[in-house]
Structure 1
Amino acid sequence: MTTPMLPVLIAGAGPVGCFIAYRLGKAGVPVQIFEKEAELPYSPRAVGYYGATQNVFQDAGLYELIRSEGFVTTGLCWRQLPTPNSEGGKSLGRMIAHQPLCAPGDTVRACPSGLLNLRQSELTKLLLREALATGNVSVSFSREVTSIEQKDDCVHIGLNDSPELHVTGSYLVGADGGKSRVRKILGTPCLGHTWPERLISTDVHLYNEVDPVYHTMYIMDTKNYTIMTPLTEPKVGQRSLWRCTIAIPPEDERTDDELAQEAAIQDLYEQVVPGPRPLQAEISTKTVYRIHQRLVTTMRKGRCVLAGDAAHLNNPYGAMGLNTGLLDGDALAEALLMVLQEGKSEELLTIYSDERRRVYQKFVDPTTTANKLRLHSPNAEAAAADDEYFRTLQNPTPEVLAELAKPYFEIWRTDMRALAEKFGL
């Protein structure tokens, strides 16, 4: 009689945990997800997915479904602050540089081109729904991992500090976010630094007066540099939902609660949001948070493996946080499938840790740091002329864009099967 396979246990029902669960469940591996909140959490964070992540969705059989619930835009741009116009409103600030993510005139924007947009909260619902539909995945809410005991052939976890709530699995995946309880229980340091600024992130309904062409906009300012990106497909002459995330300088001594007041947010909008005045911005969600650049010393301890924000944190300039987490999930799911179903060595999990840490160190950390520092350059005009990156993007040729895109495809995603072959596993 065949002994039933122990489930893979996943802490955290965010997008990374749910994606891993979907990949494993689809392949026939039993999975149990434990989420400390009473329901899927919502916060105004990630929204856009680059080509490498689109390829991961495509390979998993999810791309068309995600695209049907989201939409695709053409690329990114950097602008100066909005400027007053003759109608009494404010026009889009001068575009310093732009980064197309699809060819000019491309209206199809097939995978992996463009920026695929779907709010993190909506993506999480979709991924959990598809994971549960495999019949091999279950989820338990209001359950937090509070103890871990590892054996040679399994891992035991305790939940909610309750002596009655214990579960045994083959492996434990910590995908429980930046404040990961799993990471803390394992005693894994998460080293790096916290930026001095705070961010206030809002979901806001705005009127679309003009088509900016490149809808994800980085607005440069010494103090209140801003990201604006659409959450619903924007159409000229209509209102739609936008994510507007504004930096608050460290010298601003207001409390988080004071910054989150409607009047305080509207004052910030007046500086950074283009459009007719009065602005008529209808805020639906708001949160104030701090940003970090941190990486764990290892993403694996025995049968416990970390992924996503539980393993690394970076600032949101460049939209690389959730993308990196999903690419972690792609690599980790593949490694676990090779170990569980193909008898490959557990050493693959160490290689996963090494390779994903290397991706953060060599690519994600320096790229997001450079993105952030560009946005609060003391002089946007000077930056446009002085910064080699901006000069490159002011009139990019297809060859230049292809060269800039290479690391996003060749470094960011990890091919675990190729690594298994390379290391003879």
Structure 2
Amino acid sequence: MSETASNVLPTPGTWPGEPVLVLGAGPVGQTTALLLARWGVPAILVDQRPRRDAHGSKAICQQRDVLDVWEAVGAGGRIAAEGLTWSTARTFYRDTELFSVDLATSGHPAFPPFVNLSQSRTEQILDDCLAAEPLIDVRWGAQAIGVEQDTTGVEVHCTDGTVLRSSYLVVCTGGHSALLRRMLGVRFDGHSFDDRFLICDIRADLPGWDTERRFYFDPAWNPGRQVLIHPCPDSTYRIDWQVPGDYDLEAEEASGALDDRIRAIIGDRQYEIVWQSVYRFHSRVASRMRCDRILLAGDAAHLYSPFGARGLNSGVGDAENAAWKIAYVGRGWAPEGLLETYHDERHAAARENLAVTTATMNFLVPPDEERAQRRTEILESATTEPGARADVDSGRLSEPFWYCVSPLTTPDPRRPAVDRPPRGQVPPAGPGVLLPDVPVRTPDGPSRLRALARDGFLLLAGAEVETAAARRTVAHVDTPVRVLALDEIDPDGTVRDALATAPTELWVVRPDAHVAAVLTDPTPETITAALTRATAATAAEPAIQR
């Protein structure tokens, strides 16, 4: 099946089976349901709460590429417009600034590196999108207590006696998903940290603090521990203090010590506490993220410390990966094996995020005296020696996971798999990497490269590639594929520069805007092999370019 139009999304009403059930109406569940609907897949979104809980900042840092995913369902622009933009992350030791990181830009992105907006407001915006989507049925007050599945679907039993039948189930029930994981035989390996973190949202006038994140090691106003400060809209600031495991918030409020704690940071200014809470952080990853027709996503599958903002942002990555793969398998565009690659790719992403955030927590809360001494030495050295600053870990900020070694990715020796680039940087475009976000031109008017990619499999042809031959080749595959000539959508060379592509190359792009292959001197055989691999249609050897 081949289409050259700008949009190959299915017509609503053509889904061949039962709706997909999504448990948990937090941002990851909301995103999953909206992305399924975008693929023409009806979804039932169920939450055990009686209604939305709209209190507290919770997950506030929305990363640029997540905003881009949300824009595909009509929410990204609104969240970015209401959120507070920041692009600089400053790190201090006591009263000395060690370094700042200005976040890199690849291509010409539509969104800033990060915006800060309370999770509750993000959820409200996503709720507006849900309400406008006829393929989504939202139900509150239904708690799942039993799950059964067979070769044709999944049944979820609720406390009120309701039985919900679905073709697939995506579990997005957050950190309190132990019952469902036990039913599925899934372990949740990892550990919890003894220290806690006090979080206060305060409203105050703090000139100069409204466009940057600030991280303090061992400040005088929290000796021996850390403080993190994030700006939010409406002159609100989120302050996180690392506190002992036996910290008592009520006692500190009653004694006036909480007021002293806040004023030690902001000085003698008026302020208002908007919300406050105490958290204990965890580092855990599910042993399996796919159990036949059931997928685990977001905090139901992984829990991280918040330094680096990798919780919600990685959950949206889970949602996008799950949605397109369910849609393709359910429509017969890809075999059942494509669902197993959800586990392959997102479990690898979860392990990467766990490694990054655990390293940060081990630096913030050293587990033994030797590492505590080493941390002190690094911080002391970093105040005078720039070379020591690379060893200071105040949290590596969230970034997309790169599927360079995925079973769906065709390796390219000219563009080998990338390691983590320096903090704040992005890898060069290539197999497994998310496409740069750059403007393009279409017959319908201006658009963006990722927007084109998210409408289905996309082949981008260089000037010396015969597009007619490529279209004849993809006409014989089962998956919808478009072939676009770069010269037609990229008259000024912006895309070619961002990709560093050659005229003889053909780029194969997945429906989640990740590059599946870069084919030099493409032939019908290598094109077919790359698409076959990208849809998990075969376990054959990859079509490696020589």
TM-score bracket for this pair, using the shorter chain length: 0.7 to 0.9
Higher-Rg structure is: 2
Distance 1:2 1:54, change over 3 A: closer
Alignment partner, residue 206 of structure 1: 204
Q: Distance in 2 between matches of 1:301 and 1:55?
A: 29
Q: Does structure 1 conserve the Cα–Cα contact (< 8 Å) formed by 2:284 and 2:302? A: yes
Q: Does structure 2 conserve the Cα–Cα contact (< 8 Å) formed by 1:26 and 1:131? A: no
2:342 pairs with 1:330: no
Distance 1:40 1:224, change over 3 A: farther
3-state DSSP of counterpart to 1:148: strand
Distance 1:370 1:53, change over 3 A: same
In the TM superposition, what are the counterparts of 1:20-35 in structure 2 within 5 Å? 20-35=32-47
Superposed CA offset, 1:357-405 (max 9, x none):
11122x3122222333444644643344464526899xxxxxxx97542
Aligned pair count? Answer: 387
Amino acid at match of 2:537: G
3-state DSSP of counterpart to 1:406: coil
Aligned residue among 55, 76, 83 for 2:68? 55
Q: CA deviation at 1:243?
A: 1.0
TM-score w.r.t. length of structure 1? 0.81
2:169 pairs with 1:149: no
Alignment partner, residue 166 of structure 1: 163
Q: Distance in 1 between matches of 2:277 and 2:251?
A: 11
Distance 1:94 1:6, change over 3 A: same
3-state DSSP of counterpart to 1:352: helix
Alignment partner, residue 290 of structure 1: 280
Superposed CA offset, 1:287-342 (max 9, x none):
11110110000001121110000000110011111111111111111111111234
Q: CA deviation at 1:155?
A: 0.6
Alignment partner, residue 227 of structure 1: 228
Alignment partner, residue 87 of structure 1: none
Q: Distance in 1 between matches of 2:250 and 2:292?
A: 42
Q: Distance in 1 between matches of 2:299 and 2:393?
A: 31
Q: Distance in 1 between matches of 2:30 and 2:358?
A: 28
Q: Does structure 2 conserve the Cα–Cα contact (< 8 Å) formed by 1:76 and 1:214? A: no
Distance 1:299 1:112, change over 3 A: same
In the TM superposition, what are the counterparts of 1:2-401 in structure 2 within 5 Å? 5-41=17-53, 42-81=55-94, 93-101=95-103, 110-160=109-159, 162-163=160-161, 165-180=162-177, 181-208=179-206, 210-212=207-209, 215-221=212-218, 223-232=224-233, 240-250=235-245, 253-255=246-248, 257-258=250-251, 263-271=256-264, 273=265, 275-277=266-268, 279-361=269-351, 363-375=352-364, 377-378=375-376, 380-384=379-383, 385=385, 387-389=388-390
Q: CA deviation at 1:212?
A: 3.8
3-state DSSP of counterpart to 1:29: coil
Give ranges in structure 1 of 5+ residues lacking alignment.
Answer: 82-92, 104-108, 234-239, 394-400
Distance 1:254 1:2, change over 3 A: closer
Q: Distance in 2 between matches of 1:421 and 1:390?
A: 39
3-state DSSP of counterpart to 1:127: helix
Identity level (%): 26
Q: Distance in 2 between matches of 1:25 and 1:148?
A: 23
Q: Does structure 2 conserve the Cα–Cα contact (< 8 Å) formed by 1:77 and 1:214? A: no
Q: CA deviation at 1:56?
A: 2.3
Amino acid at match of 2:102: P
- When the two chains are superposed, the root-mean-square deviation of aligned CA atoms in Å is 3.1
Superposed CA offset, 1:125-149 (max 9, x none):
2112212311111111111111101
Amino acid at match of 1:6: E
